[in-house]
Structure 1
Amino acid sequence: MKASIPGVERNGRSRVREQGSAVAWVESPLQLLCAVEARYAGVAGPEMRVVTRAKLPALKVTRRELAALDLPPGLRIETAEGGRMPRPGRGTAWVLGDAFSGRMQLTSLTAAPARMVLVDDGLATIRLLELLTSRPGTALLRARARSTPSRRVLGTAAAIRLRAAARAGRLTVFTALPVPADLAAAVRGLGAELVTHDFAWLRSQPAVRHPRPAENTVVLGTSLVRNGLIHRDRYLSWLFALKGPLAYFPHRREDPGDLAAVRDHPGVTVYDGGVPVEMTLRDLRPGQRVLSLPSTAVTSLRVLLSARGVPVETVDVPDDWWTPSASISLRSHLQMFAHERASP
C-alpha cells in the first residue's frame, strides 16, 4: 500500500493515523535525521518535539545543519535539559532510535505512550527486529554488551513491552534499511507496522550547503578500528593503496590519531565530519563512487544515489583483518548488506 507522501511505503496491518503529538529521543545524527523523516512521512503525528542528547558535538552540528533547511511543519528540535530523556505522556507517540538504551528500557517499564515508533539506529535496528521476533523471553541486548543479570532483566522487560505494543497495533518500525523478507514477515506477524522510506524529505532539500567533493572516489571512514574489531594496520594499508585522489569522510567515532595519519597521507583529502553522510554526499554525480567498509551508510547512500548512477560499494573484509573481538556472528551481522562489493 502506497502512502500519500512519495518515498514512503506502508507494509503493516493498518495505516498509521496522523493524530496527536509525539516526542522523540535521539542520541545520534542518523536517529535525528530519521526522526525528521518520520515527521515528514506522517507516522508520528502532526506535531513532534525532538529532544537530542546533550554534550554530543555531532548532534550539535547536525542540528545546525537541519535548522538551515525547510523542516517539516509541526517539528521542533531541542537539547535535553540536564541530560534528561523526556517521558512520553498518555496519548503521545514515543519516537525512539535506540531500543537497546538502558535509559529507554527503564523508562518503558512505567511509560504509557499511545504508540511507539522505532526509527533507524544503524544495523542495530536489524538486530533489534531479530530479537523482537525471537522466542519469548529473549532480552534486548546489544551485540557486544556485557550480559549482566540486571541488564538481562531490563532487556527482557523492554522486549515484553514492545511485543505487547505490537500485538495491540501500537508499534511502528520506520526504516530505510532493506529488511530481509522473512524478518519483515515476522515483524508483521507480531502485529507491528513496518514502514519503509527512502529519505523523501532529505531528497526534497537543496544540497547547496554541501557541494560535492571534487575527487571521483569517496571513502567513508569506519569505527571498526577504534572499536577493536579490525586491525588498524590492515585498514590503513588498504586505504593508502587505493588509487587517488581520494575524498575521505571520517566516521564520527574515528580515532583522532588514525585520522591524523590519514590527513598526512598524500592524495587524501579529509573532509569535516559530524554531519550524516546522507546529508553531505547526496549530490554526488555519475563518474564518482563511494567505497566503505560494512556500515548502515552504505544502504542509505544507495537509496539516495542509485537514481543518480553513483555506485556505492562495500569492501568485503578479509578474514585476517578481523581481531579476536569480532565473533563470527558479529562479522556476519556487520556484512549482511555488503552487496555490490569492492575488492580490498
Structure 2
Amino acid sequence: MPAGPSARTARTLAFVESPVQLLNVLEWAHVTGGPGTDTPLPGPREGDRPLRDGIPRQPRDRDLAPVRPVDTGLVVVVLAPHDPMTRGQLRRMAELARDQGHQVRWEEARGGPGAPVQTVGGLAGALRKAHRVVIGDPFSRYVQLLLTITRARELVVVDDGTATMEFVAQLARGERLVRWHRRGSRGARDIAFAPVSASARRRLTPNDRRAVEVFTAMPVEPPPGVTVTPNDFAWTRATFGPPRLTRGTDLVGTSLVETGVVDPDRYLDAVAALARTHGATRYFAHRRESPDKLRRIGARVGLEVVRPELPLELIARRGPIGRTVLSFPSTVVHTLPLALAGTGVTVAVCDIDPVWLTEGASPRAEGFLSEVTDTAPDVRRLPVMPLTAP
C-alpha cells in the first residue's frame, strides 16, 4: 500500500470482495457507532460520481484520484473480482460507503500474475498496525492469507450470506474452512494452501489476546468466546424507503446453477413453474448468474429480467417491489424480511427438490439448503414446484 510522507495508519481495516459484504460492513459500522479514528490510509480510489436517484453512476477506470481525508477511521479495502456485474455493484456500494464518511481503497487484487504479491505486500504494513480487522469472507484464500499477517486484537466477520452459517459451524467443530457447496476431495492447490488456511482458522479462534465477533442476520450457534451481534439492517431501513409496492409478484434468482449445485434445466423448469403458479412478472438476477441462463429465462418464461445495480436488500427497500417476493433457499430469505420490515411485503420460499441437484453436488448441499429454509423465521413456505410442461 503506497504511503505518503504524512500518512498514518487506519485503526480499522475492512476487506470485502462482494457488494453484500460491503453492505454489511456499513451495517456493522452503523450499529457500532463507527470504529473510531486514527487517520486515513492513502491509496488509489475509484472516482467520485454524482448520485442519480440515490444510485451512483458508473465510474470509469480512468476516474481514479487520491483518497480524501475522512473522519470515521474505517478504511474499506475492495479486493476487486473479475466479474463485471460484481464490480459494478461494488463501485456503487463504494460510493455509498464514502457518503457515510468511510474511506474506500480499490485494489485490482486479481489484475495479473503479479497482482496478489503486490496487493499483499502493499497491505502488510497497515495490517500489522491495525487494531481491528473486519472481513466479509473467511473462506477466501486472499482473506486467509491476509489474516496470517495481521496482529489485530479484534477480528470481526460480517455476513457473506448463508456462508456465515457454515463458517460458524465449522469454527465451532474445529474443522477446516470449506465452502458448503464444495465436494470433500482436495486438489493440489488446496493441499498446498492448507497451512495458510489452518493458520487463518486459528486467528479466527478467540483467545486472551484476540477477540472475535460475528455480525450476522443468520441464525448461528457460536463457539465459546465468539461474540455474535445481530444484523437487522438498521442502516438500510434508515437510509432507504419505505418502498412503493406494486400489485405484482417478483422472483429472486440464485447462483445455485453456477456453483454446480442445481441442474440448469431443472432450475429453468422450476422458475417457469413458480412464475406460472404465482403470477410472477419480474426476475431479479443474482449478480453471478450467467448471461446465457438469464436469456433463457427471459425468452422461455417471459419474465422481465432485472440485473440490480445494488444488493437486493437496497433495491427492494428503495422500490418499487412486489407485494410478494419469491425465492429459492438463499440469503435473501433471511435478509429481505429484515430489510422490508413493516412494509407489508411477504417473502415466500420454495424448497429445492433433491432430484434437481447435479451428480457433482456436494453431499452437504441438500441438508444445508433445507437448513437455510428451516431457520428462516419470517417467510412463507411454499411446496416444491412440480416440474411439468406448461
Q: Secondary structure at the residue paired with 2:371?
A: coil
How do residues 69-84 of structure 1 correspond to structure 2 at under 5 angstroms? 71-73=99-101, 75-80=102-107, 84=119
TM-superposed deviation, 1:273: 2.9
Instruction: Establish whether residue 220 from structure 1 lines up as the match of residue 248 from structure 2.
Output: no
Query: 2:212 corresponds to which residue?
Result: 171
Post-superposition CA distance 1:92-148 (Å, at most 9, x none): 21110111122222232232113111111111111111111114xx32222316534
**Is the 8 Å Cα contact of residues 159 and 216 (structure 2) preserved in structure 1?**
yes
Alpha-carbon distance change, 128 to 214 in structure 1, aligned in 2, over 3 angstroms:
same
Instruction: Establish whether residue 21 from structure 1 lines up as the match of residue 62 from structure 2.
Output: no
CA–CA separation in structure 2 for the residues paired with 1:108 and 1:287: 42
Amino acid at match of 1:105: Q
The 10-residue stretch of structure 1 (316-325 or 284-293) with the greater mean CA deviation from structure 2? 284-293
Query: 1:67 corresponds to which residue?
Result: 95
**Is the 8 Å Cα contact of residues 124 and 142 (structure 1) preserved in structure 2?**
yes
Amino acid at match of 1:161: R
- TM-score with structure 2 setting the length: 0.73
Q: Structure 1: where are the runs of 5+ without partners?
A: 1-19
Aligned length: 312
Instruction: Establish whether residue 268 from structure 1 lines up as the match of residue 303 from structure 2.
Output: yes
Instruction: Establish whether residue 314 from structure 1 lines up as the match of residue 349 from structure 2.
Output: yes
Q: Secondary structure at the residue paired with 2:269?
A: helix
TM-superposed deviation, 1:43: 7.0
**Is the 8 Å Cα contact of residues 241 and 319 (structure 2) preserved in structure 1?**
no
Post-superposition CA distance 1:286-328 (Å, at most 9, x none): 9711111111122110111242221111111112111122234
TM-superposed deviation, 1:204: 1.0
Post-superposition CA distance 1:24-53 (Å, at most 9, x none): 110011101111112112276122000112
Alpha-carbon distance change, 32 to 65 in structure 1, aligned in 2, over 3 angstroms:
closer
Amino acid at match of 2:217: A
CA–CA separation in structure 1 for the residues paired with 2:321 and 2:281: 16
How do residues 54-203 of structure 1 correspond to structure 2 at under 5 angstroms? 54=80, 55-57=82-84, 58-65=86-93, 67=95, 71-73=99-101, 75-80=102-107, 84=119, 86-87=123-124, 88-135=127-174, 138-143=175-180, 144=182, 147=186, 148-163=190-205, 165-179=206-220, 183-184=221-222, 187=223, 189=224, 191-203=225-237
Q: Name which of 258, 271, 279 aligns with 1:239.
A: 271
CA–CA separation in structure 1 for the residues paired with 2:200 and 2:237: 34
Amino acid at match of 2:194: R
TM-superposed deviation, 1:81: 5.2
- TM-score with structure 1 setting the length: 0.82
Q: Secondary structure at the residue paired with 2:204?
A: helix
Bigger Rg, which one: 2
Q: Secondary structure at the residue paired with 1:79?
A: strand
**Is the 8 Å Cα contact of residues 90 and 113 (structure 1) preserved in structure 2?**
yes
Percent of aligned positions that are identical: 31
Alpha-carbon distance change, 43 to 139 in structure 1, aligned in 2, over 3 angstroms:
farther
Alpha-carbon distance change, 159 to 261 in structure 1, aligned in 2, over 3 angstroms:
same
Amino acid at match of 2:76: V
**Is the 8 Å Cα contact of residues 291 and 342 (structure 1) preserved in structure 2?**
no
CA–CA separation in structure 1 for the residues paired with 2:196 and 2:98: 39
Q: Name which of 61, 69, 75 aligns with 1:49.
A: 75
Alpha-carbon distance change, 251 to 214 in structure 1, aligned in 2, over 3 angstroms:
same
Cα RMSD between the aligned structures?
2.6
Amino acid at match of 2:178: L
Instruction: Establish whether residue 30 from structure 1 lines up as the match of residue 20 from structure 2.
Output: yes
Amino acid at match of 2:230: T
**Is the 8 Å Cα contact of residues 167 and 192 (structure 1) preserved in structure 2?**
no
Amino acid at match of 2:368: H
Amino acid at match of 2:74: M
